[in-house]
Amino acid sequence: MTNTKITKEAYDKKSEEYHKKLISSDGSFWNNFLEIPMRKILKEISKNKKILDLGCGSGIRTKKLFSLNPRKIVGLDLSPELIKIAKNNFSEIEFHSGDAKKTGFKNSEFDIINSDLMVHYFKSLNPLFKEVGRILKPKGYFVFSMHHPIYEVTKREKEKNKTKYLLEPYFHNELYKWKMLEGMELISYHHTFEDIFSSLKQNGFVIDELIEPHAINSKKKFDKKHIERATKYPSFLIIKAKKL
C-alpha cells in the first residue's frame, strides 16, 4: 500500500477524534506553537490574495487564515472525512478533497500556498514542490511547516528523571513511524536541510525566510513539559519560499 493510501485511511478513520484533539487546549499546544510565527508571516502578505491551504485537515487553520482578509481562500486535504468536518463547520470556505501532488487546480491559480505539517508525509519532495510551483503565480509565496530535520533523528532517553537527547544518523531519507492518536499509526520521511533546500531550488523557489520556532508567548496555559521541550529542542521548521 502506498503512503498516500495509508495516510488517507488513518486520517479518515480518526477524523472526529483528530478534530476534537485540535480544538482541545492541550492538543493544540504544538499547533499554537507553530501558528504564532506562521500567522506573523501570513499576516504581512495575505490581504486581498487568493490563498490555498494545502493539507488543511478539518479546516481549523484555514478558518484562521480567512480572518487575514484574503480575497479568496480554498482548502484541500487528502482525507474526505476531514473535508466533510471542514465543510460542516466552516461553510463560508471552499474545501476539496484531493492529493496535494495532483491538485487539479489551474496553472498560476494562487498568490499564496500555505501548508501546515503535511510536507513530511512525502518521501520525495520534488513531485509536491513541482505541483505547488505549477499552481502558484510567479513571485507568489509557498509558506509551509514540517517536522524539523533534527526532530526524528533525535532519540529521547529517560535517565534518573531527566530526559537525554541523543543524535542518531542524519544523512538519509528513510521513513519513520509515529502515532498521532491511539490506534493512529502514521508514516513520515526524514529530510535533511540540504534535501529541502535543493528540492525547492530545483522547482523554482528561493527561501525568503526560515524559522525554527523555539519559544511560545501565549496567554493560554500549556503543559510545562511541552514548553520545556519546545524551548530547548527543535520540533518544527517553517519556510517561506518565493517562486521566481
Ligand X SMILES: C[S@@+](CC[C@H](N)C(=O)[O-])C[C@H]1O[C@@H](n2cnc3c(N)ncnc32)[C@H](O)[C@@H]1O
E runs forming strands in the chain:
50-54, 72-77, 94-97, 110-116, 136-147, 154-159, 162-167, 175-181, 184-189, 205-211, 236-243
- Supply the minimum distance, in Å, between the C-beta of residue 41 and ligand X: 15
- Supply the minimum distance, in Å, between the C-beta of residue 231 and ligand X: 21
Residues that bind ligand X (CB under 6 A): 4, 7, 11, 22, 31, 55-57, 60-61, 77-79, 82, 99-101, 116-118, 121
Backbone φ, ψ for residue 209 (5° rounding): -155, 140
Nearer to ligand X, 116 or 152 (CB): 116
- Supply the minimum distance, in Å, between the C-beta of residue 166 and ligand X: 26
Closest by CA to 171, choosing from 188, 193, 204, is 193
- Supply the minimum distance, in Å, between the C-beta of residue 123 and ligand X: 11
- Supply the minimum distance, in Å, between the C-beta of residue 55 and ligand X: 3
Nearer to ligand X, 61 or 243 (CB): 61
- Supply the minimum distance, in Å, between the C-beta of residue 197 and ligand X: 21
List, as one string, the DSSP characters of 80-129.
Answer: HHHHHHHHHH-TTSEEEE-BTTB--PPTT-EEEEEEES-GGG-S-SHHHH
Count of positions (residues) in the chain: 244
Task: Enumerate residues 6+ apart whose C-beta is below 8 A from 105.
Answer: 52, 135
Closest by CA to 117, choosing from 152, 99, 144, 141, is 144
- Supply the minimum distance, in Å, between the C-beta of residue 92 and ligand X: 18
Element (H, E) at 133: helix 126-135
Nearer to ligand X, 117 or 125 (CB): 117
Nearer to ligand X, 171 or 191 (CB): 191
Nearer to ligand X, 93 or 164 (CB): 93
Nearer to ligand X, 1 or 166 (CB): 1
Please, are residues 68 and 91 in contact by the beta-carbon 8 Å criterion? no
Nearer to ligand X, 164 or 212 (CB): 212
Residue whose C-beta lies closest to ligand X: 57
